[in-house]
Amino acid sequence: MRFIAEDAIPRLLEHLAGGGRTVWAPRVARDSVNTVLFAPWIAGEPVETGAYTHLSAKATLLPPTERLFGFSYLQTAGEERIELEPEEPEENHVLFGARVCDARALAALDALFFPAGGGFNDPGYAGRRSGLTVITLACTTCDSACFCSSFGKGPAETDGSDLILYPVANGFLAEPVTDAGSELVRLDLFQDSPLDKPELAVTDRIETAGLREKFIDLFSDIDLWRQVSEKCLSCGFCAYACPACHCFNIFDEMSGDREGERCRSWDSCMFYSYTLETSGHNPRPEIAHRYRNRIGHKFSYFPANRGEILCTGCGRCIRGCPAGVDIREVIRAVQER
């Protein structure tokens, strides 16, 4: 296997960022001591290869808010007309330091926003996704909120990554998954190494077998949903932290009264207004209804439509929930019903 020394990582990042390419990497957030987020890397700044990021890597592909197009109302010869300016898609080039839970969520997002078989392409997502190299840090340790061992190959999953870095003494073993990864390990920054891959973390698990049908059977058991969502504040943090949640809102912003832009931003099915209709009718008026939809989308609806569970066990929703809601306890309560 190939090996890269810890102190060669900055040079790897410099190489990746050559030619003005954007490299997203885990970095301590501005004005923060211990909050680590994915952000575009700036030469000379440290990256956090040992920390958990508080939010997932999805912002590299779906920014919290993005402009879809600009518009202006123009007056020519007394006649008004509209001008539309579609946003030029940005390009990303490298996502460095994703975890397996981030990388495998990309497959779900790709299926929706950048489907291989054609259909609708989302230009913003497609621009950032095409040509993106994903360099993943494998996890040899985990914390009490991690539960990715519940899904597929767990911490050994390679889906979504181009290159996987396994932490070993003084550096990382590098395992290419795709051609882009193979090309990278041929760089001089990497040397051959006799070391074996380290033992990977073994996380907590939830049982997902049969969940898709079980959820439908229990859909009308409102007491269950009220009980499991009792602590939930409906704040939506879980959706924002999630690598696979992707729901969005669309809205217009004016600047002056002749021009403006149409934007989209992250949204959450936990918000009351998400499904509120103009008539005042809301199909999901209670937190229990909305939490049920969150669980249903991840473990029943998305699997029914796309064959994949829309949760990668990253545990961010558990670590960050201000009310202490734990999705694993919810799934266990459902499975025990």
Partner 1 sequence: MNTIPKSGINARMPLLPEKASITRVIQETPTVRTYRLVFDDPEMMAAFSFEPGQIGQMSILGAGESTFAISSPPSQKDYIQFSVMKTGVVTTAIHELSAGDRVAVRAPMGRPFPVSAWKGKDIVIAGGGIGMAPLRSLLMHLLDRRGDFGRIQAVYGARTPADLCFAGEREEWERRDDVEFIATVDSGHADWSGRVGVVPGVVESMSPPAANTVAVTCGPPVMIKYTLESLEKLGFAEDQIFTTLERRMKCGVGLCGRCNVGAKYVCTDGPVFSLRDLRALPDEL
Contact footprint for partner 1 (CB under 8 A): 68-69, 71, 73, 80-82, 84, 86, 112-113, 119-123, 216, 219-220, 246-252, 254, 257, 260, 262, 264, 267, 269, 274-279, 281, 283-284, 289, 293, 296-297, 300-302, 304-305
Q: Tell the residue number behind the tokens 């932290």, with chain if given.
A: 241
Strand partners, 165: 137, 174
Q: Tell the residue number behind the tokens 């949760």, with chain if given.
A: 311
Least distance from partner 1 to the Cβ atom of residue 145, Å? 25
Least distance from partner 1 to the Cβ atom of residue 150, Å? 21
Express the helix, strand and coil content of the chain in percent, nearest 5 each.
35, 25, 45
Least distance from partner 1 to the Cβ atom of residue 205, Å? 25
C-beta separation of 196 from 32 below 8 A: no
Residue closer to partner 1 (CB basis): 294 or 316:
294
Residue closer to partner 1 (CB basis): 269 or 314:
269
Residue closer to partner 1 (CB basis): 10 or 70:
70
C-beta separation of 100 from 148 below 8 A: yes
Please report how many Cα atoms fall inside a 13 Å half-sphere around the Cα of residue 337, on the Cβ side.
22
Structure tokens at 313: 């066990």
Distance from C-alpha of 337 to C-alpha of 332, rounded to nearest angstrom: 9
Phi, psi of 228 (to 5 degrees): -75, -20
Residue closer to partner 1 (CB basis): 71 or 204:
71
Residue closer to partner 1 (CB basis): 230 or 252:
252
Least distance from partner 1 to the Cβ atom of residue 222, Å? 10
Least distance from partner 1 to the Cβ atom of residue 106, Å? 16
Least distance from partner 1 to the Cβ atom of residue 269, Å? 6
Strand partners, 69: 86, 262
Structure tokens at 227: 């009980």
Residue closer to partner 1 (CB basis): 126 or 333:
126
Burial of 239 (0-12, 13-18, 19+ CB in 10 A): buried
Distance from C-alpha of 264 to C-alpha of 65, rounded to nearest angstrom: 6
Residue closer to partner 1 (CB basis): 119 or 194:
119
Least distance from partner 1 to the Cβ atom of residue 124, Å? 9
Residue type, 253: E
